[in-house]
């Protein structure tokens, strides 16, 4: 199994090792029938069904995996007239795609996803993109995410049927960022305008690029809330074009031109070095005073 927390119902219907190819696209489908992900999994388990997909996402958010991501599923059939022009025609599409079915009881795939199904689908897609370096955007010749309709507009124009594409791409842009809709995060922060959170415990705000960093830093638990803790100062400006903000567990610098430091691989926001003058300051007060002094020297 490639994804945590899935139900493994292996199917015999697959191309071992993708005949040497690797996945570049994710293709979404609707089941046009069936009521649970398990039910679909058992159908794909039958050799005589001659079909399979890597994943099936149920209306209750259950994810069933039927084919390993290293193998090609039997989900897509071939390309038909009017397919998106960038699909390679010299390779079986199943060997370069990862397929996700969504349980839709209506035989015309007209069901909207349930909330649980949408959340499970979005997270699964994010993780697959991360595992295989698949671009987190609408598919084009370099990879990405699309529906079955893109390959087979003749027979599968209604596959997957309604899907919240805009919400998906917004979600992927935000990645694993924490948000105020999570009760634990909302316990500590409230909305204070566009791209700005106010700490409920001390009134200090985090915003812009540092907020974006805070919402994703750490990559698990509650990201910045877990690894940086609460803000201890507002933004301070040691040099023009830079900002630093002290948190309970670290000091964050916004420094797109890398005037203060340039940690390997860093973008415009990074953690300050512990031995920098700012890093050594033991308390928020010392930190602010030091910053003020340093900024006046320039």
Under 8 Å between Cβ of 25 and 96 = yes
Smaller CB separation from Zn ion, 113 or 252: 113
- In the complex, least distance from residue 12 CB atom to Zn ion, rounded to whole angstroms: 20
Which of 18, 54, 104, 148 contacts Zn ion by CB under 5 A?
A: 148
- In the complex, least distance from residue 99 CB atom to Zn ion, rounded to whole angstroms: 8
Q: Which two tokens stand for residue 295?
A: 């900024």
Q: What is the distance between the alpha carbons of residues 48 and 66, in angstroms, rounded to a whole number?
A: 15
Which of 18, 24, 29, 104 contacts Zn ion by CB under 5 A?
A: 29
Phi first, then psi, for residue 56 (nearest 5°) are -130, 125
Q: Which stretch binds Zn ion (CB under 5 A): 126-134, 146-154, 221-229, 273-281?
A: 146-154
Q: Which stretch binds Zn ion (CB under 5 A): 7-15, 153-161, 224-232, 247-255?
A: 153-161
Q: What is the distance between the alpha carbons of residues 121 and 211, in angstroms, rounded to a whole number?
A: 26
For Zn ion, the binding residues in 30-49 under the rule CB under 5 A are none
Smaller CB separation from Zn ion, 148 or 212: 148
Q: Which stretch binds Zn ion (CB under 5 A): 118-126, 159-167, 233-241, 247-255?
A: 159-167
Smaller CB separation from Zn ion, 147 or 238: 147
- In the complex, least distance from residue 33 CB atom to Zn ion, rounded to whole angstroms: 12
Go through the chain and tell me how many residues it has: 298
DSSP assignment letter at 137: S
Between 162 and 201, how does the x/- string for binding to Zn ion read (CB under 5 A)? ----------------------------------------
Q: Which two tokens stand for residue 255?
A: 């420094």
> Helix, strand, coil shares of the chain as percentages rounded to 5?
30, 20, 50
Question: If binding is defined by CB under 5 A, does position 158 make contact with Zn ion?
Answer: no
Between 89 and 128, how does the x/- string for binding to Zn ion read (CB under 5 A)? ----------------------------------------
- Segment holding 139, helix H or strand E: none
- Segment holding 191, helix H or strand E: strand 189-191
Cβ neighbors of 52 (< 8 A, separation 6 or more) are 11, 13, 14, 44, 66, 67, 73, 74, 75
- In the complex, least distance from residue 94 CB atom to Zn ion, rounded to whole angstroms: 12
Q: What is the distance between the alpha carbons of residues 241 and 89, in angstroms, rounded to a whole number?
A: 50
Which positions touch Zn ion (CB under 5 A)? 29, 148, 159
């Amino acid at each position: 199994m490639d994804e945590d927390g899935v139900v493994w119902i292996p199917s015999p219907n697959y191309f071992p090792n993708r005949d040497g190819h690797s996945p570049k696209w994710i293709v979404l489908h609707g089941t046009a029938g069936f009521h649970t992900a398990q039910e679909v999994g058992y159908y794909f388990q039958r050799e005589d069904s001659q079909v399979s997909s890597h994943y099936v996402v149920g209306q209750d958010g259950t994810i069933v995996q039927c084919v390993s991501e290293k193998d090609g599923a039997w989900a897509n059939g071939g390309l038909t007239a009017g397919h998106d022009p960038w699909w390679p025609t010299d390779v079986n599409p199943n060997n370069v795609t990862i397929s996700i079915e969504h349980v839709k009881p209506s035989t015309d795939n007209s069901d909207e996803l349930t909330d649980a199904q949408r959340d499970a689908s979005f997270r699964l897609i994010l993780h697959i993109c991360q595992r295989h370096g698949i671009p987190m955007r609408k598919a084009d010749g370099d990879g990405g995410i699309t529906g079955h309709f893109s390959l087979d507009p003749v027979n599968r124009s209604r596959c997957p049927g309604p899907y919240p594409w805009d919400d998906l791409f917004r979600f992927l842009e935000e990645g694993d960022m924490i948000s105020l809709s999570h009760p634990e995060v909302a316990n500590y922060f409230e909305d204070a305008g566009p791209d700005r959170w106010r700490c409920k415990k001390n009134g200090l705000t985090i915003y812009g690029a540092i907020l974006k960093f805070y919402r994703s830093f750490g990559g698990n638990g509650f990201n910045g809330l877990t690894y940086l803790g609460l803000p201890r100062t507002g933004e301070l400006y040691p040099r023009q074009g830079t900002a630093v903000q002290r948190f309970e567990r670290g000091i964050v610098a916004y420094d797109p031109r890398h005037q203060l430091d340039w940690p390997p691989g860093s973008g415009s926001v990074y953690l300050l070095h512990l031995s920098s003058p700012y890093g050594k300051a033991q308390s928020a007060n010392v930190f602010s005073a030091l910053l003020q002094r340093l900024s006046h020297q320039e």
